[in-house]
Structure 1
Amino acid sequence: MTLNVQAENDVLPSKTEKQEPIAFDQLASRVLSGGEVTRDEALSLLSTSDDDLLPLLHAGFRIRQQHFGKTVQLYFLMNAKSGLCPEDCHYCSQSKISTAPVPKYNILKRDKLMDAAKVASESGAKTYCLVISARGPNEREMKAVEEIVPEIKSKYNLDICACLGLLSEEQAVRLKACGVDRVNHNLNTSEEYYADICTTHTYADRVDTLKRVRDAGMEMCSGGIIGMGERLEDIVSMAFDLKELGVKSIPLNFLNSIDGTPLEGNADLSPQDCLRALAMFRFVNPDRELRISGGREIHLRSLQPLGLYVANSLFVGDYLTTKGQAPQQDYDMIRDMGFEVTQSNC
């Protein structure tokens, strides 16, 4: 899949055809004045030519700078339970249909979770992300989270983001009570495309979980993955759905096509595609935290620093079952860009 495809019925011209230039700065000024971009305008941003990429990023930076200055917030992921998932998400190496050779273990013991929290704190992360592979947490896993979260916050004073799968109202309330600050549950793609990447639960199931998180008084963290064969319209639809839900933090992943998953071999994203998507998300969600997430090292490659002109957050270290670049490379990149890391509350 590439992001250079045309919209249905040739609504959008291809990048090789002459197009009317988009007034990026005027669009940014509208957003900075409290206005919004339309879905058609967002779609046009994804179809910007490579020659217009730098002006697009410059305009997006104006929005980023107003809301976040030149700060970058770091997140640290901990895969607290790996593999053993009964869902069939086609992108995931931990799903029941994956044959990828990933570690398989039940939720980790206290000491390992605390050791990871120490690494998160020492890495300059502000948020510790506690992740399990599951349709949703069972009672044993809920109790483990309820016990470890207060201890982590007491010792390291990190913000806690829990990613536990689908949640009931009662589970969301319990997570709030034990000190979880936000819950991650990605929409992953548009409602229209969702059945093409997962059949064991629905897009509506994910939206329901996010609403329960919101109703329980926690922040919603939700984003998606691009490069799974979706259309440009699907990416725009996801960006607007996240906006309408009021999601606070948006991680944008770029498909790391892992061998043994149904999406293995999908590697058609260019660095420019990724940057256009990040910029579009910034225009649509101007005051939301936007995180450059999994796959950035593979797809953005040497253009990773440019992503920080519109995004204001990164994962530091490794992901769930794949490796990230060395943390020192991230620190150097942030410093070389003239940005600074948002310090933790320690």
Structure 2
Amino acid sequence: MTVTVESADPAAGNSTAEDGAATVDILAVAREQVLEQGRGLDEAQVLAVLEMPDERLEELLALAHEVRQRWCGPEVEVEGIVSVKTGGCPEDCHFCSQSGRFPTPVRAAWLDIPSLVEAAKETAATGASEFCIVAAVRGPDERLMAQMREGVAAIKAAVEINVAASLGMLTQQQVDELAEMGVHRYNHNLETARSYFPNVVTTHTWEERWETLTMVRDAGMEVCCGGIVGMGETRPQRAEFAAQLAELEPDEVPLNFLNPRPGTPFGDREPLEGREALRTIAAFRLALPRTILRYAGGREITLGDLGTEQGLLGGINAVIVGNYLTTLGRPATADLELLDRLSMPVKALSATL
């Protein structure tokens, strides 16, 4: 893919003068701007990457891997997640089987504290440095906050692992309480571009999510924010989303790929094509050169084993191991064996503190 720019400066990349303008190779631009200078691509540049032809995909992935190695290092951060409250959510996120508004097989359930601690121990045993507690709620009520207080304290007393949380939208008081508990990182996904969000969720706004993320960052917790690719958004909207994430400057971006769930409004959509998923991974790495870019839900059906390896060699530097909230993932041993074969060390707990 080539983009037209106003300057014919050969230093910007391979170029040819045409009527006072120049046609520039976007990968040459990315090599100088991102790899050498550490400045992420902007929205228009990300779109140019997303529109590159398949025959240049291998070259794109190789550059994204170089960027990841240069600005993040060779380590891969491993995380496990567990749902403390599953199903019965009042929101209408069209991709989610945990919404109480859709006729899905998922039913509301709560996890007790001993089970939560055991899940944290099992996660730590894989070598993971992060354990994320997730709840299917609009935002936490006092019952959930009390369970978080008890659960985080019990985990910290039993096992050495960073505790993260994903509990929906927060008030300032709840943000402060979570920070005081010692929650290391808070996940709240923007899910998609601001322009496409009303097609995905109608019971709350993109701006409400942004407000929670801003409060979390200001409180000193790490910000984890990503979304789902393949929900019907256009390539320009994916580029818009990458630019909006870059503006937020999250510590971590989990990239999910739509796994259509029965009973949801998106249940009949086709999974994203594998090459498109890999192209998106590389584009997001070039937009976010210093950010933890994590494989999350849907990679198994979108990419399979070979694609999973290609993504790790195309910009990904973190994985969720084991199962997701309501869907099965790859066995943790399969991911850990793959990392070992690729000579990618698992990031130690001390490196995340």
TM-score (norm. length: structure 1)? 0.91
The 5-angstrom pairing of residues 28-67 of structure 1 reads 28-31=31-34, 32-67=36-71
Paired residues of 1:157 and 1:345 also in contact (CA < 8 A) = no
CA distance in 2, matches of 1:269, 1:333: 23
Where structure 2 has 5 or more consecutive residues not aligned to the other structure, the ranges are 1-22
The amino acid that maps onto 1:137 is: P
Where structure 1 has 5 or more consecutive residues not aligned to the other structure, the ranges are 1-19
Show the counterpart of 2:205: 202
Question: Which residue of 83, 90, 97 maps to 1:79?
Answer: 83
2:335 paired with 1:325:
no
2:319 paired with 1:314:
yes
Q: CA deviation at 1:98?
A: 2.1
The 5-angstrom pairing of residues 53-202 of structure 1 reads 53-106=57-110, 108-202=111-205
CA distance in 2, matches of 1:79, 1:22: 45
Q: CA deviation at 1:23?
A: 4.5
Show the counterpart of 1:17: none
Paired residues of 2:26 and 2:49 also in contact (CA < 8 A) = no
CA distance in 1, matches of 2:349, 2:321: 14
2:296 paired with 1:297:
no
Q: CA deviation at 1:314?
A: 0.4
Relative distance call for 1:24 and 1:113 in structure 2 (3 A) is same
Q: Share of identical aligned residues, percent?
A: 37
Show the counterpart of 1:341: 346
Question: Which residue of 253, 278, 290 maps to 1:275?
Answer: 278
Paired residues of 2:42 and 2:243 also in contact (CA < 8 A) = no
Paired residues of 1:28 and 1:62 also in contact (CA < 8 A) = no
2:238 paired with 1:235:
yes
Paired residues of 2:39 and 2:289 also in contact (CA < 8 A) = no
The amino acid that maps onto 1:284 is: A
Q: CA deviation at 1:328?
A: 1.4
SS in structure 2 at match of 1:250: strand
Paired residues of 1:158 and 1:345 also in contact (CA < 8 A) = no
Paired residues of 1:28 and 1:60 also in contact (CA < 8 A) = no
Question: Which residue of 214, 217, 222 maps to 1:214?
Answer: 217
Aligned Cα root-mean-square deviation (Å)? 1.5
SS in structure 2 at match of 1:225: strand
TM-score (norm. length: structure 2)? 0.89
Count of residues paired in the alignment? 326
